[in-house]
Amino acid sequence: MRSYDDYLGDLDRFFTQVIKSRAVLPCVVLAHSMGGHIALRYLHDHPDCVAKAVLTAPMIDIASSHFNGRLIRRFVRLAVCVGLGKMYVVGSGDYRADDQIFEGNRLTADPERFQDEQKAIAANPDLALGGVTYGWLKASLESIDIIKSAGYPVAIRTPVLIVGAGADRVVSLKAQQQISERLPDGRFRVIPLARHEVLQETDQVRRVFWEAFDGFVGA
């Protein structure tokens, strides 16, 4: 991929060809992680497309500080420039079922729901995703800079509830709080024990989320 414009174009086609012709209004967006990032950018460009948006653990920034330095950004740009965009970054690689271990995972504290993804991939291997490539990382860092730029969040007029995972080690919780404070109608809620995949978490965590969702959407 070259930029997040590809994702935004796909989402716009989905809204135009499917949602607008079939949805029962008012329309509410529920998006997670990278999807939450894309949703925010779409709301910026299409302010009247939905009534409200709920974003779980949106990727406003990447949790690891290793990806935030200028030197790393320059290295990533150089890697893509010399044709390494499709290569995995150091430490990433192809999906391996043997590597998917519940103990110490960053996604969920629920062992049964942790296995849901592994079962789906076993049934359809095409669903498997590998690690991060230089091309994806370059595009993601550039899109992160767009969202965090001066004047960008304030132009997002749609009411937005951001639900952060208190134990998230994938995306930045601090960045989520900061962006919510810059939104004209933004709200921020943290579920303390939740890991990154809020909707794949324990019943207790999911119950807290759905109560927050219902309270926001129904208000």
pLDDT in the model for residue 13: 96
Report which residue type is found at 82.
Answer: V
Q: Which domains does the chain have, with CATH numbers?
A: 5-11+28-217 (3.40.50.1820)
- Per-residue pLDDT tens digits for 106-157: 999 999 999 999 999 999 999 999 999 999 999 999 999 999 999 999 999 9
What are the residues whose beta carbons fall under 8 Å from the beta carbon of 125, sequence distance 6 or more?
Answer: none
Mean pLDDT of 196-215: 98
Cα-based angle 174, 134, 91 (whole degrees, multiple of 5) = 75
Q: Is-contact 56 79, C-beta < 8 A?
A: no
pLDDT in the model for residue 66: 52
DSSP for 138-207? HHHHHHHHHHHSTTTGGG--S-EEEEEETT-SSB-HHHHHHHHHHSTTEEEEEETT--S-GGGS-HHHHH
Give yes or no for residue 70 having a pLDDT over 80. no
pTM: 0.93
